[in-house]
Amino acid sequence: MQNQSPLLVVKNLKTYFPSGKAWFGKQNYIKAVDGVSLRINRNEIIGLVGESGSGKTTLGRSILRLTASNQGEIIFKGNDILALKGSALRAIRKEIQLIFQDPYASLSPRLQIRKLIAEPLLLHNIVPEAMVDQRVSELLEEVGLENYFKDRYPHEMSGGQRQRIAIARVLALQPELIIADEPVSALDVSVTAQILNLLKEIQKKNSMSVLFISHDLKVIAHMADRILVMYAGRIIEEGMTQDLLTHPLHPYTKLLIASIPSYENRNTTRRINQQKKSDQQYSAKNGCPFVGRCAEAQSVCKQIYPHLKESKGNRFVACHFN
């Protein structure tokens, strides 16, 4: 598996948004994605976890070129996506599909489900027109919906059912990579479990790769083979799921794990707050972006930026002391 060529390789990707007005002096930027490198193998689920605002959505959208990047390479099956144009770009777009948190926003409210699922099939000439209805039925079955849903409209369905429709539309194109951006974050507990099972099932059945984005480490732990932890636009730790969760290296990963509410934490109070010296979050200009919140910080952390480097056992971490 190690020798097999990866499906997607991202190298030093940067996506910045201008912020504030550039009246005098220089323009400020929000460095939403700030030098991210990653690799997604075939038939693998990669979990991308981090707090809100860490840049997860921007990274996903940058890979699809829905958001323009400033720098970097995105190599999908050997082709640099950033260099593609016209029909070549459209062809790649078919092979990488996005699933959002809110399926409602991506489903046209005026179309019946049969039309919504037929749309991608027709657009990309996936099956002959005469076969479309048959294929729509199969797709509905694959995502666990009865055939009568064909005649419904999105607003007549629950959040979980709409997410199933969004998944059916993605499956219609048989993509090689799915980017699932917080696909269960708006769903109830019981429905979340259903959708996670469905995503796992279709991934296995179709041998697809998934970039699974979530702010919830529990969801990521359940889904991912390998985990990337993102903080302030950068990947700060990477490892195989079990390794990373049982032996987290980066203080931020440790904090994420310690923060998960549980019965075991009943008698711990102030596990987090004692570490904080100020409510004003200090961020170092050149140093570690996590230094203002880090329980293990030393003076070097304010001056020198810790690059992501290989640690023992196929692990990667961006910290001077771990």
Partner 1 sequence: MLLEVTNLRTSFFLDNGELKAVDDISFSIEEKQTLAIVGESGCGKTVAAMSILNLVSLPGRIISGRVNFEGANLLELNNDKLCDIRGRKIGMVFQEPASSLNPVFTIGAQLRETLVRHTQLNKHEISARAIKLLGDMDFKEPENWVNAYPHQLSGGMKQRAAIALAMCTQPKLLIADEPTTALDVTVQAEILDLLKFLKEEHEMAMLLISHDLGVVAELADRVTVMYAGKQFENASLEHILTVAKHPYTQGLLKSMLHLDTINNDFLEVIPGSVPDLLDLPKGCSFHPRCSLKESICQEHVPKISLHKNNTLCACHLVTNQY
Ligand X SMILES: Nc1ncnc2c1ncn2[C@@H]1O[C@H](COP(=O)(O)OP(=O)(O)O)[C@@H](O)[C@H]1O
Residues that bind ligand X (CB under 6 A): 17, 30, 32, 50, 52-58
In the complex, the smallest distance separating the C-beta of residue 276 from ligand SF4, rounded to whole angstroms, is: 14
Cα Rg of the chain (Å, integer): 21
Pick the stretch among 21-29, 68-76, 96-104, 210-218 that binds partner 1 (CB under 8 A): 210-218
234, 301, 315, 316: which one binds ligand SF4 (CB under 6 A): 301
Q: Is 97 in the site for Mg ion (CB under 5 A)?
A: no
Contact between 314 and 240 (Cβ < 8 Å): yes
60, 288, 308, 315: which one binds ligand SF4 (CB under 6 A): 288
Q: Which own/partner contact pairs does 283-291 have at CB distance under 8 Å and 24+ positions apart?
A: 288/318, 288/319, 288/320, 289/231, 289/232, 289/233, 289/234, 290/231, 290/232, 290/236, 290/250, 290/251, 290/252
Pick the stretch among 132-140, 151-159, 270-278, 296-304 that binds ligand SF4 (CB under 6 A): 296-304
Query: By C-beta, is 121 or 297 nearer to ligand SF4?
Result: 297
Instruction: With CB under 6 A as the rule, give the number of residues binding ligand SF4.
Output: 13
Query: By C-beta, is 185 or 311 nearer to Mg ion?
Result: 185
Contacts (Cβ under 8 Å, ≥6 apart) of 51? 215, 231
CA atoms within 13 A on the CB side of 40: 28
**From the list ligand X, partner 1, ligand SF4, none, partner contacted by residue 217 (C-beta under 5 to 8 A by kind):** partner 1
Contact between 226 and 241 (Cβ < 8 Å): yes
- CA-based nearest residue to 255, from 217, 223, 228: 217
Q: Is 248 in the site for ligand SF4 (CB under 6 A)?
A: no
In the complex, the smallest distance separating the C-beta of residue 305 from ligand SF4, rounded to whole angstroms, is: 8
190, 286, 299, 312: which one binds partner 1 (CB under 8 A): 190
* Cα distance between residue 159 and residue 141, in whole Å: 18
* Cα distance between residue 313 and residue 319, in whole Å: 16
How would you class 18 by CB atoms within 10 Å of its CB: exposed for 0-12, middle for 13-18, buried for 19 or more? exposed
Pick the stretch among 51-59, 131-139, 170-178, 287-295 that binds Mg ion (CB under 5 A): 51-59
In the complex, the smallest distance separating the C-beta of residue 36 from ligand X, rounded to whole angstroms, is: 11
Contact between 318 and 234 (Cβ < 8 Å): yes
**From the list Mg ion, partner 1, ligand X, none, partner contacted by residue 260 (C-beta under 5 to 8 A by kind):** partner 1
**From the list ligand SF4, partner 1, Mg ion, none, partner contacted by residue 290 (C-beta under 5 to 8 A by kind):** ligand SF4
Q: Is 233 in the site for ligand SF4 (CB under 6 A)?
A: no
Q: Is 222 in the site for partner 1 (CB under 8 A)?
A: yes
* DSSP H helix total and E strand total for the chain: 11, 12
Q: Is 57 in the site for Mg ion (CB under 5 A)?
A: yes
DSSP H helical ranges for the chain: 56-63, 86-95, 103-106, 113-123, 132-142, 159-172, 189-206, 217-223, 241-246, 251-259, 300-303
Q: Is 290 in the site for ligand SF4 (CB under 6 A)?
A: yes
In the complex, the smallest distance separating the C-beta of residue 67 from Mg ion, rounded to whole angstroms, is: 12
Chain residues binding ligand SF4 by CB under 6 A are: 250-251, 288, 290-291, 294, 296-297, 301, 306, 319-321
